[in-house]
Amino acid sequence: MEKRELTCIVCPNGCHLVVEVEGKEIVNISGYECKRGLKYAEDEIIMPKRTLTTTVKAEGGHLPVVSVRTKEPIPKELLNKAVYELSRITVKPPINVGDVIVKNILSTGVDVIATRALYSK
Amino acid sequence: MAENRRAIYNRRAGYIWLCLFLRLILIAERDGKMYDVIIIGGGVVGSSIARELSKYDIKVLLIEKEDDVASGGASKANSAILHAGYDPVPGTLKAKLNVRGNEMFDELCKDLDVPMKRVGSLVAAFSQDEVDSLYKLYDRGLKNGVKNMSIISSDMVKEIEPNINDTIVAALYAKTAGIICPYGFVIALAENAAQNGVEFVFNQEVVSIDREDDVFRVKTQDSEYFSKYVVNAAGLYADVINNMVSDKHFSIHPRKGEYLILDKEEGYLANTVIFQVPTKMGKGILVSPTVDGNLLIGPTSEDIFNKEFRKTTYKGLEKAIKGAKKSVEKFNERKTITQFTGVRAVPDVDGEDFIIGESDVKGFINVAGIESPGFTSSPAIAEMVREILKDAGLKMAEKDNFNPKRKPVIRFNELTDEERNELIKREPAYGKIICRCETVTEGEIIDAIRRPVGAKSIDGVKRRVRAGMGRCQGGFCSPRVLEILSRELNVDPLSVTKFGGNSNILTAKAKEYVANLYKELLKSEV
Amino acid sequence: MMEYDIVIIGAGPAGLGAAVEAYEKGVRDILIIERDSYPGGILQQCIHNGFGLIEFKEELSGPEYAERFIEKVNKYGIKIMLNTMVLNISSDKVVKAVNQENGVMEIKAKAIILAMGCRERPRGAISIPGTRPAGIFTAGTAQRYVNMEGYMPGKEIVILGSGDIGLIMARRFTLEGATVKAVVELMPYSSGLTRNIVQCLDDFGIPLLLSHTVIEIRGKERVEGVTIAQVDENKRPILNTAKYLSCDTLILSVGLIPENELSKSAGIILDPVTGGPLVNESMETNVEGIFACGNVLQVHDLVDNVTKESRLAADSAVKYIKGLLKQEGKFINAKAGSCIRYVVPQTVNYENIDDKVKFHMRPTDVFKNAYISVKSGGKEIMRRKMQRMTPGEMILIEIKKDKFLDNDLHPVDDITFEVEVV
């Protein structure tokens, strides 16, 4: 059995988690203070996920770039590819906070949404 | 045969005509770049001379290797003071020009709209031995013609400087010493010179000078300029320039000084320029208010081997702090907002006096080794150079349209509210504060860029209007200043620099950079 | 002269939060003054997530968090004066400000809430020797360039300081294609949140060099590299550990300083440790009717706490203009004792305590399994076990009203917060 120690990143509390793993099976998880911590520990062993926050180019609006994020965390290994996908698109106003900028990015089932509004100049 | 000869003749005649034609073009072109005087170097010396010569009906060009005046050398980084003139050995050029230069600043600062305060200076003695040195300085001062000096008791010193250390014994008090913003003064000189017809070229480094038919050809990396006279005011590199022309070589060696500038909160600690008793290596470490209200401490004094070795060091800064504590213990070095290093241009001549005069090459005038008190001496140096040029045969008729007044600078911070409102109504850009630490408006920044010899870089703006010079050191305003520069100069934000050359602030457009990077990556994967 | 019940300086999270709260408590005559061209303050460039977990029970990015408050401010019709810089504040609560439309204005307020935030410590303040080339940025300035202006300030980066903005920027730079060579931290611990070390550095294999510092900057026109070295326990560099890292950019994340030049103009006394005003339980400064909240008062780790503090300041301002905030009473000093760097609020007027007082503080060092002990007159009035404390994470201790009374049921003179290691 292998013990893996993690710091939960779900919230700023940063709980210290201990996951006991037998081969690929999770045997026990301890140290979490909420359900989301438990879920994080599971994901982190099976498939680590992260929320991507970045920007996309904007044209004709009051800002040169608009901030965006994935609505849910996506597999960590896809972060760089997703940034590349997003670097190739250009958005135009009007955009409201929460508008979908890219649907189902890299077939993850997760949408990329705007986190800032963009109005015409 | 005959026909053959004629053909050759015709060809030859054609060739001669062609040569003549080309030569005409060459002369025409040279005329376009033909000046009476070329000044090499845009520091305080070069700019003072340029301004002095702009009073006369002659064609003057100033060549500077950096992107701005007072940008690279000693004129940018020094003690920012006007010396009274009791330090130099009597009879030297330093002594004569210091005292004369000092006297000239009132009128100059008024004409050029440069803030200057005659706060006076103290040479503080903290032991009886040091008091003896005060009398020596006092005597020198008398011989040099310094006015308004006295040796005062510790009580009187305390009255003037309540925060000086209690160990004070006595001081030499010189009322004519002052404080000034050194680059502000140089910029003003250059602007006024330009207003009066002097031409400036920047980013051009002189690579060679030769003389043919009484005409100097001054070559820079991209161009060449012609003149009858050359004034070498190249500061630290005056030796290099001299040695391009003259057989009488000299060398300038760099002597570095490190300084700290403290927050305006600490400015109250000194009312006058507080010196210590001088040593061989210089006038020691001073504690001084700046004309803008900060506290300045330094300089250290250290001979270095590389002229470009202008960096601050742990040791140097510590030395400056420790040295300054000898005079005023109370300052808090944690309130430092910036540090810098200045380099004095020390000539390898006896007594380290200024080298000023026509060289062995006729028409080539050296103004070299202008270390302290060079700044204070500069207006007097300019007068002296004018006379040297006259003596060397340059015909100088006074212009009738010389305007001694620089176009006044609007400083939002110094206006009354009524004046501010009137101004904002007229020019709304003065209602937008860009630098919050120093209260500098967009209007002032735009003006600094549009003026003659205007700002072209972030540091150029900073030196003209103080945007970015306050306690946050540009953290807040530099992106905004960059935007204004890019708009006013009509250049891409990527090409805006900190101080010319390759000192670009930004390196790429964010989204394009990452897109290209991954494109390359994907290609290499395939 | 314009007149308002409440004037709020700054439309960042603290100012917006205070405005919404004051409105909801019944005050209508509110003015927010903001120097930028849009509200939201620094949140607009903090595009990363992690905001709002306490306040909204969701994980938002900075701009989204700001948007929630901006929507309310707009819905309530609260007036925001944008692109307007406050020049000074007088102790009788007249605010002098300037903008392009109105020129210089004087605005009289019944109560003022200071919400100016903080600024970043520059290079000079930490004295890094070397040259002065282009390519040295504070983390926040770099963040603005990348996230709002769309420009990269460099390609090969060294970050000095492991404050949260520095860590966040390490990830941003990496995602945007730059190489972050190292994060260098003078202290033996990071001043950032642990989650940020995991998701911003560990995820990308960026080394965090603790007890290290930059001892020299090299490069004439643009940064060419930095020399780093380990430091001893007195934070002095150990020269034989010096190592050169080539880079074109040095990012400084070496601390934040509350922005209190305006507070000083009003005669407000500052705490030399926090850099913010001395305040009482109501977030009121020594100048009657002037309140402070958010990073201008003390530098926070979490925006959610700023919002809470802004509510308290706004509630107090509302009470003040209704004449319900007592100025006289029994004042209790809250002191930072052993291993505590500071405590906010610094005083408590017993007469103004409703139910309890919340104290924020930071320890001087990292402690594990220690206690925070609150003492008065040598007697412990409260004790709380803390699994882990670090200077990078603010501690909240709540004390009930009755705990401030001594045996004779008189309010005590002072209370002291201490760390007790078992």
Kindly write down the DSSP assignment for every residue of C384-402, as one continuous string: EEEEEE-TTS-EEEEEEGG
Using 50, 70 and 90 to split pLDDT, how confident is the model at B5?
Answer: low
Collect all residues of chain C within an 8 Å Cβ-Cβ radius of residue B336. 124-125, 127
The two three-digit tokens of residue B514, written as one number:
């990452």
State the alpha helices, DSSP H only, in B153-226: 154-160, 182-195
pLDDT for B21: 63
- Whether residue C149 lies within 8 A of chain B, CB to CB, comes out as yes
- Whether residue B393 lies within 8 A of chain C, CB to CB, comes out as no
pLDDT for B2: 53
Q: Is the pLDDT of residue B525 over 70?
A: no
Q: Closest by alpha carbon to B462, among B484, B445, B442, B486?
A: B445
Regarding whether A57 and A108 lie in a shared domain, the answer is yes
Q: Closest by alpha carbon to C237, among C307, C158, C184, C179?
A: C184
Structural domain harbouring A62: 53-114
pLDDT for B306: 84
Angle between helices B93-112 and B374-391 (to 10 degrees): 100
A to B CB pairs, distance under 8 Å = 19
Taking the C-alpha atoms of residue B408 and residue B416, their distance in angstroms, rounded to an integer, is 16
pLDDT for A2: 83
Buried b / exposed e over C297-308, threshold 16 CB at 10 Å, is: bbbbbbbbbbbb
The reply to whether residue B338 touches residue C222, judged by beta carbons under 8 angstroms, is no
Regarding whether A76 and A29 lie in a shared domain, the answer is no
pLDDT for B12: 66
Regarding whether A68 and A108 lie in a shared domain, the answer is yes
Taking the C-alpha atoms of residue B503 and residue A27, their distance in angstroms, rounded to an integer, is 57
CA angle A19, A22, A28 (to 5 degrees): 35
Average the pLDDT over B297-323 and give the result.
Answer: 89
B122: which residues sit within 8 A by CB, 6+ positions away?
Answer: B157, B160, B161, B164, B171, B172, B173, B174, B272, B273, B274, B275
Collect all residues of chain B within an 8 Å Cβ-Cβ radius of residue C134. 497-499, 503-505
Provide φ and ψ at B303, rounded to 5°. Answer: -75, 135
Regarding whether A57 and A40 lie in a shared domain, the answer is no
Using 50, 70 and 90 to split pLDDT, how confident is the model at B143?
Answer: very high
Collect all residues of chain B within an 8 Å Cβ-Cβ radius of residue A80. 518
Regarding whether A39 and A84 lie in a shared domain, the answer is no
**Option in A55, A65, A88 nearest B515 (CB):** A88
**Option in B337, B476, B498 nearest C124 (CB):** B337
The reply to whether residue C130 touches residue B501, judged by beta carbons under 8 angstroms, is no
Question: Mutate which of A65, A84, A85, A91 to disrupt the B interface (most B C-beta within 10 Å)?
Answer: A84
Q: How far is C11 from chain B (nearest CA, A)?
A: 16
Q: State the chains in contact with B (3 or more Cβ–Cβ pairs under 8 Å).
A: A, C
Q: Cβ distance B93 to B353 under 8 Å?
A: yes
CATH code for position A101: 3.10.530.10
Q: How large a percentage of chain A has pLDDT more than 90?
A: 60
Q: Is the pLDDT of residue B156 over 90?
A: yes
**A72: in domain:** yes
User: Partners of C356 in the beta sheet?
Assistant: C400
**A90: in domain:** yes
Collect all residues of chain B within an 8 Å Cβ-Cβ radius of residue A56. 511
pLDDT in tens, A77-87: 999 999 999 99
Taking the C-alpha atoms of residue A84 and residue A104, their distance in angstroms, rounded to an integer, is 15
Residues in chain B, overall count: 526
The two three-digit tokens of residue B450, written as one number:
């549009």
**A24: in domain:** yes
Average pLDDT of chain B, as a whole number: 92
- Torsion angle of alpha carbons B142, B146, B147, B151, nearest 10°? -60
Give the SS3 label for residue B343.
strand
Q: Prior bond to B299 cis, omega within 30?
A: yes
E strand or H helix that includes residue B400: none
pLDDT in tens, C32-64: 999 999 999 999 999 999 999 899 999 999 999
Taking the C-alpha atoms of residue A53 and residue C143, their distance in angstroms, rounded to an integer, is 13
B87-101, B281-295, C6-20, C286-300: segment of lowest average pLDDT: B281-295
B13-17, B414-418, C36-40: segment of lowest average pLDDT: B13-17
Give the SS3 label for residue B276.
strand
Using 50, 70 and 90 to split pLDDT, how confident is the model at A8?
Answer: confident
Active site residues of B: 83
Q: How far is C138 from chain A (nearest CA, A)?
A: 20
Chain A 25-84, residues with CB within 8 Å of chain C CB atoms: 50-55, 57, 63-65, 67, 69, 76, 79-80, 83
Q: Is the pLDDT of residue B18 over 80?
A: no
Amino acid identity of residue C289, one-letter, is: G
**A76: in domain:** yes
The reply to whether residue C103 touches residue B424, judged by beta carbons under 8 angstroms, is yes
Count of the separate structural domains present in chain A: 2
Regarding whether A32 and A77 lie in a shared domain, the answer is no
Provide the CB-side half-sphere exposure for C258 (13 A, CA). 25
Regarding whether A75 and A36 lie in a shared domain, the answer is no
**A74: in domain:** yes
Q: Is the pLDDT of residue A13 over 80?
A: no
The two three-digit tokens of residue B40, written as one number:
């090499």
Q: Is the pLDDT of residue A57 over 90?
A: yes
Q: Which DSSP string corresponds to C213-263?
A: EEEEEE-SSB--EEEEEEB-TTS-B-GGG-EEEE-SEEEE---EEE--HHH
Q: Which of A31, A46, A61 is the last residue of a domain?
A: A46
ipTM: 0.94
Amino acid identity of residue B315, one-letter, is: K
- Whether residue C221 lies within 8 A of chain B, CB to CB, comes out as yes
Regarding whether A15 and A61 lie in a shared domain, the answer is no
Q: How far is B209 from chain A (nearest CA, A)?
A: 49
Residues in chain C, overall count: 422
Q: Cβ distance B228 to B361 under 8 Å?
A: no
pLDDT for B318: 92
Regarding whether A108 and A69 lie in a shared domain, the answer is yes
Residue of C nearest to A14 (CA): C195
Provide the CB-side half-sphere exposure for B297 (13 A, CA). 30
Q: How far is C68 from chain A (nearest CA, A)?
A: 10
**A12: in domain:** yes
Taking the C-alpha atoms of residue B187 and residue B465, their distance in angstroms, rounded to an integer, is 11
- Whether residue A14 lies within 8 A of chain C, CB to CB, comes out as yes
C-beta atoms surrounding B481 within 10 Å: 30
Collect all residues of chain C within an 8 Å Cβ-Cβ radius of residue A55. 47, 146-147, 150
Question: Mutate which of C83, C90, C104 to disrupt the B interface (most B C-beta within 10 Å)?
Answer: C104
Q: Is the pLDDT of residue B282 over 70?
A: no
Query: Can you point out the beta strands (E) in B213-322?
Result: 215-220, 224-232, 252-262, 273-276, 286-289, 295-298, 302-303
Low-confidence residues of chain C: pLDDT under 70: 124-125
**A121: in domain:** no
pLDDT for C33: 98
B14-18, B128-132, B255-259, B275-279: segment of lowest average pLDDT: B14-18
Give the SS3 label for residue C111.
strand
pLDDT for B16: 66
Surface-to-core class of residue B344, CB atoms within 10 Å of its CB (0-12 exposed, 13-18 middle, 19+ buried): buried
Using 50, 70 and 90 to split pLDDT, how confident is the model at B6?
Answer: low
Regarding whether A109 and A57 lie in a shared domain, the answer is yes
Taking the C-alpha atoms of residue B136 and residue B87, their distance in angstroms, rounded to an integer, is 10
Regarding whether A41 and A63 lie in a shared domain, the answer is no
Q: Is the dihedral of CA B132, B138, B140, B142 positive or negative?
A: negative
Taking the C-alpha atoms of residue B373 and residue B354, their distance in angstroms, rounded to an integer, is 10
The reply to whether residue C98 touches residue B424, judged by beta carbons under 8 angstroms, is yes
Q: Is the pLDDT of residue B314 over 90?
A: no
Give the SS3 label for residue C130.
strand
Regarding whether A110 and A68 lie in a shared domain, the answer is yes
Strand A90-91, strand A53-58: pairing: parallel
pLDDT in tens, B217-234: 999 999 999 999 999 999
pLDDT for A83: 95
Taking the C-alpha atoms of residue B493 and residue B511, their distance in angstroms, rounded to an integer, is 15
pLDDT for A44: 87
Collect all residues of chain B within an 8 Å Cβ-Cβ radius of residue A106. none
**A30: in domain:** yes
Collect all residues of chain C within an 8 Å Cβ-Cβ radius of residue B505. 134-135, 153
Q: Cβ distance C317 to C25 under 8 Å?
A: no
Q: How far is A99 from chain C (nearest CA, A)?
A: 12
Taking the C-alpha atoms of residue C136 and residue C250, their distance in angstroms, rounded to an integer, is 5
**Option in A14, A51, A79 nearest C49 (CB):** A51
Query: Can you point out the beta strands (E) in B263-335?
Result: 273-276, 286-289, 295-298, 302-303
Collect all residues of chain A within an 8 Å Cβ-Cβ radius of residue C197. 7
**Option in C87, C140, C176 nearest B513 (CB):** C176
Q: Closest by alpha carbon to C215, among C248, C247, C241, C254?
A: C241
